[in-house]
Structures are given as structure tokens and as C-alpha cells.
Amino acid sequence: MTAQPASSHSAEQISGNHPPSIDPHESGRRFGIRDGLFQAVAQGGGEQYLPAFALLLHATPFQLSLLSAIPQLLGTWAQLISVKLSHRFPNRASQVFWGIIGQSVAWIPILALPLLWPDQGPWLLIAAVAVYFTFSHFTSPVWNSLITDLLEPNERGMYFARRAQTIAMTSFLALCLAGSLLSFFERQQLLWVGFAVMFLIAALCRSASALLLRNVSGLLSHEPSSNPTGFLVFLRTGKSENFRRFLLFSGLMHAAVLVAGPFFVIYLLQDLHLAHWQYGTWLAAGIIGQFMTLPTWGQFGDRFGNKTLLSFTGLLVAFLPMLYLFGTSWPFLVTVNFFGGVVWAGLGLGLNNYVFDAVQPTDRAKAVAVSSIVNAIGWTIGTVIGSWLVSTIPAVLQVGALTLKPASNLPFIFFLSGLLRLIVSATLLRTFHEPREVEHRAHHRLLWELPLLKPLRQFSHRAINTNQ
């Protein structure tokens, strides 16, 4: 993947030896980071603005719920197909390659179909986005299996934190540029042109990932499980009792989160009338929170275990949506989403890496697919409940002498989402355990190992030592 010196060709002719090749493990790790960079552009400048594009097409709250739920649900079934069809590909890299190509091509109907038939624009967008996420999920099990095989158990947290940090920073830049681009074309009354430029850039970036993968050679071929089973048998046997309890927590947490998830864009753009650049800054604040804290979360998970990581973040994430009931100023909303990014960085790492720890290496692709299916079911249930609540909960709430009248009924739904998250965490986190050997420490002492608090502790220690 790196260029050889200009004299290497002549030296090879003289010596008759081939130049030293890059360790395939290191080559694969580098691809994982660089793929994350290009994927981040597609996410920050494309996927994050799909709800805003749907609003341009006059999508209803129900259609926004479907845009969030159906592509994810259909896409995760592609993971089951991916595992079943993996033996038909010459190697795992080939399977990932064609999945990435499918993602890049899918951006064309996402942009073109709603603009060609605007009367059916929201429904065509939902269908096209479903195709996009189908290809995205098709690559997920084999990609995770491929990269995880290149890592030691105690370095996964740091590696995936580094990759997620790359994604976060690049997504932040893409969000800012995309928000500025949309604001510019909005002033020209050509908003659809801004979306067209963004989506085409996203397609080109996914194509760049495919080209990078072609340069990775010598990766390990997939080794089939020594005990090949179907998905249901896999869930009933082996170490999967702990894994099943984790799946219940993960699925219900996704359901609780998605009660509110699809409606933030409506609340911010339609109810509070934020400009697109303000909405982009709100999104970017969450990404900055992730970027600043991902390395610390990765170290925390590697050292103290992903179950402990989930215990802290699973409780903290419950209080984030409740805060939207207490303020509407733009700086306040941006601050809340910054801390949302901090917490979600740890929760996302914990949910992802616990799957790798809880099953045997040969079952990882299958475990990723099953986990994604469970999460997608929770995702769908949550969006259906949320869309029902939008049409049911009043916009004014009278509690004794106190009258709550926010900009709409959505802050009440956000509060209920937080309450459901708290119930899920309080009841289910105690039902599964850490599957690998980690360092144990009392929870009150672990508080000072958390992001944002750990630098304060280190700074105070340095100050004390300096004074002494």
C-alpha cells in the first residue's frame, strides 16, 4: 500500500529477490482505519442529512419513522444472508468489496428517484435508502470478523476507538461543510442542488474504500466453525446464555432510544426553526464529544471490561433526552448533544466489543448478524411506538399548578424515551457478566477513570505534586 523507492525495481533485478511485503495483519488494520475515513464522509455528509432531505420532500412524521426503521430492519436481514453466502465468495475481502460497491451505487437512486417523481418522493427515498443499508449491512458481519481476527483481545478497544475517532473527526468536518453547503444553496433557493452534491461525494467516497481494499493482500481466509450450526442452535448452545441476556438488553435499549430518535430533526428544524447550519452544528457537537473521549473509553473497556463500560454509559444515556424538556436555546441544545456524543461513544464501543468477547472467534460473523437483527427489531418497535406517541400525547401538560407548554409535544416523548432507557438499564444490566479476565475496581473509584473526569484527576495530581 505504500510506494516503493525509485531504485527498488533495479535492486530487485540485481538481487533477484522480491521487496519485503507489508505484514498482512498491519495492511488490514490500515485498511480498517482508512475505510473508516471514507465511510465517515459518507455518513457525515450523506447519511446524517437523509432526514433533512426527507423534509425537503415533505415527509410526514410517520414517513420519517419508516425512514429510520425499515432500512435498518431490512438491512439487518442482509447480514443473515451474508453469513449464509460467505462460502460462495473466494475470501472475506471479496465479499466486503462487493458490498461497498453496492453502497456507492445506491446513492444514485437515493438522489434521483425522489427528484424524478416528487409526488412519491418520501416513499421512493425510503425504498432507495433501504437498498443502501442492505448493502451496508451485507458487509458488516464479514468485515467485523475480518478485522477482529487481526487484533488481540486486549487491544480491540483501543483499535476500534482509534477508528471511531477517525470517523468522528472526519464526520465532524463533513457535517460542517455539508451544513454550509446546504445553507448556501438554500439562500439561492436551490436546496436540492446542495443535496445532490453531498450525495454524489458520498458515493465517490464509498468507491474509494473499495479501491483501497483491492490493494490489501494476504488476508486470512475465513475458517468455518468447527461446530457449524444454524442461528437458532447457536443461540441455544455454548456460551450464549450470557450472550442472550446481552441481546435482550441491547434490543430493548435500541427500542427505548428510537422512541425519540427519528423526531429530533422535526423538533429542531420545524418546531424550533433552526437554520440548517445550526442543525449541522448540533450534529457536529455530538461528533466532537465522541472524538474527544473515544480513546479514553477504549482504554476503559480494554482495562475494566465492556460490561463495566455498558454499566456506566447505559445509565448515563437515560438522562440525555430528558434535558430537552428544560430548554430551547441553541447553545443549550448544542451542549446537551455534546455530552450525548460523549456517552454514546462509550455505549457504542461497549455494545460492539461485547459481542466479540462473548462468542468464539469462528462464531463472530454469526454473532454480529444476530445482534444486528435483534437491534433492528428493537429499532423498529421503538419507532412505531414513537410515531404513535406523536399523534397521542398532548402538547400541553398540567401537573398541579405547574403547566408545561414546550414548542410541541416532542420534548414529552424525549422524556419518556429517557425513562424507558433508565428502566432497561436498571433491570437488565445485572443479568449478564464480563466474559473475559479484566481488572476489577469498585465503581466509585472507577468514576475517576471516565472521560472528562480522568483529565481533571490527572491535572489535580500534577498540581498537588507541583505545590509539594
How far CA 461 is from CA of 300, 429, 434, 456, in Å, comes to 20, 33, 31, 9
Predicted local confidence at residue 338, as pLDDT: 95
DSSP strand pairing (397-399 vs 402-404): antiparallel
Burial status of residue 315 (CB atoms within 10 A of its CB: 0-12, 13-18, 19 or more): middle
- pLDDT value at position 432? 92
> Sign of dihedral through CA atoms 326, 332, 334, 339?
negative
Sort residue 305 into left (φ over 0), alpha (ψ -120 to 50) or beta: left
The DSSP H or E segment spanning 399 is: strand 397-399
Residues 447 and 315: beta-carbon distance below 8 Å: no
Instruction: Name residue, grid cell 416523548.
Output: 413
Sign of CA dihedral 189, 192, 197, 199: positive
For 126-141, what is each residue's pLDDT tens digit?
999 989 988 888 887 7
**Nearest C-alpha neighbor of 346 from the set 307, 401, 378, 397:** 307
Alpha helix positions (H), 2-91: 8-15, 24-45, 50-56, 61-85
pLDDT at 170 exceeding the cut of 70: yes
Structural contact between residues 124 and 150, judged by C-beta atoms closer than 8 angstroms: no
**Higher-pLDDT residue of 380, 74:** 380
What is the value of pTM for the model shown? 0.69
> What is the distance between the terminal CA atoms of the chain, rounded to a whole angstrom?
52
Q: Is 465 helix (H, G, I), strand (E, B) or coil?
A: helix
- Over residues 385-413, the mean pLDDT reads 86
**Cell numbers placing 136:** 451496508
Going by CATH, does the domain composed of 22-219+234-439 fall within 2.130.10.10? no
The region of weakest confidence among 62-71, 113-122, 221-230, 372-381 is 221-230
User: d(Cα 62, Cα 126) in Å, to the nearest integer?
Assistant: 12
The position carrying cell 466489543 is 353
Section 235-254 average pLDDT? 82
